[in-house]
Amino acid sequence: MPSIGKSELFPAILFFALSLMSCSAKTQPNDMGINWTRTSAPNMRWASVASSSDGTHLIAGVLGGGVYISSNSGSTWTRTVVPTSNWVSVASSSDGTHLIVASANGAGIYTSSDSGSTWARKIAPDVGWSSVASSSDGTRLVATANSGLGINPYMGSGIYISSDSGTTWTRTSAPTKSWTSVASSSDGVHLVAVSDDGGIYTSSDSGSAWTQRRITPDATWIKNASRSHQGVLLVPPEPGPLIWSSVVSSSDGTHLVAVAYGDSGADTFGKGICTSSDSGTTWPYSGVSGVYFSSWKWTSVASSSDGTHLVAVSDGGFIKISSDSGSTWMMTLAPDLHWASVASSSNGTHLIAVAHGGGIFKSE
């Protein structure tokens, strides 16, 4: 048997070691979002949070409080000059320069074009705003109103758009509903909005026209929810109207995710999370978890720009993440708090979540 010299043995060992390292790296699970660290933000009734695409610039709103910003990924926070109100929704341009905040009870809509240093109240309808979203450049904005929130309920609930960074607003043709959340593609062309009575609407022309969508139970849901009675398979009715609480969109508007706080009381099963991979045309619904909607109490969902990495927070005290566009979900090690809102960087590696009556936590 021929002998192997040291000069031949060392490359072989090095190759073997590198192969093991490569294999180990490929088989290790993705732990983005598993661990969460509390920031310096105080305990407040945090209601909303938004992030720049790189996760550096953040903005958060408080119920019965102010609006706070961070320029170092949440390490420190500074209160802005925006007055005290119920700031239920905030949004940011991709670079964190253009910001928008909306109040539920009369303080209106404020915008900033210098990362939150100065603010201006916009001439917007006096309604109870429930959600705002922004294009990546901060030019095209969309906002939803909920008559149950405003000081002037007779104004009704609608969806409003702006193409000049919030200077002027126009009500769209969307129907009067108790709108709860709205999301936008990066160019502001593709929009999606949800309401607390089960409504899902999409627009592919920057909000000029809206199309109602509906979830469709798939074979998995039918199998899990059906039962046999005297040899006859009884298929239940489709899931009752869901109390949609949040919706999010990928940057191109193709991948959408909606989460529900609960259902209308119907005896339905499921995760309370629905996804669409065709710009909202279809929403296949699968009840693979076999848990009642009411036990989840989802309040917010965020997505990476490509729609692959998702994070959802619950008022029930937990945070879940997905790295396969929502096909499977993993429980994180986040503390048991009343989570209100969550935001993500464009690549899904920097996450920020706020808790109602708690603090602000980050994962990176």
23 occurs within a structural domain? no
162/167 Cα distance (integer angstroms): 7
Q: What's the CATH number where 78 sits?
A: 2.130.10.10
Residue of 196, 197, 122 lying closest to 161 (CA atoms) = 122
25 occurs within a structural domain? no
Is residue 105 within 8 A of residue 66, CB to CB? The reply is no
pLDDT at 6: 44
pLDDT < 50: residue spans in the chain = 1-4, 6-30, 150-155, 233, 236, 266-270, 287-294
The pLDDT tens digits of the residues spanning 284-319 come to 765 433 333 345 789 999 999 999 999 999 998 999
160 occurs within a structural domain? yes
Is residue 323 within 8 A of residue 305, CB to CB? The reply is no
277 occurs within a structural domain? yes
Q: CB-based burial of residue 273 (10 Å sphere; 0-12 exposed, 13-18 middle, 19+ buried)? A: buried
Question: How do beta strands 227-229 and 215-217 pair?
Answer: unpaired
pLDDT at 331: 93
The pLDDT tens digits of the residues spanning 230-249 come to 555 455 455 567 889 999 99
pLDDT at 311: 97
pLDDT at 215: 81
Q: CB-based burial of residue 252 (10 Å sphere; 0-12 exposed, 13-18 middle, 19+ buried)? A: middle
Is residue 47 within 8 A of residue 62, CB to CB? The reply is yes
18 occurs within a structural domain? no
Q: Which residue segment(s) compose the domain that 325 sits in?
A: 31-363
pLDDT at 28: 32
283 occurs within a structural domain? yes
pLDDT at 241: 74
2 occurs within a structural domain? no
4 occurs within a structural domain? no
pLDDT at 308: 97
Number of domains in the chain: 1
pLDDT at 258: 93
111/101 Cα distance (integer angstroms): 6
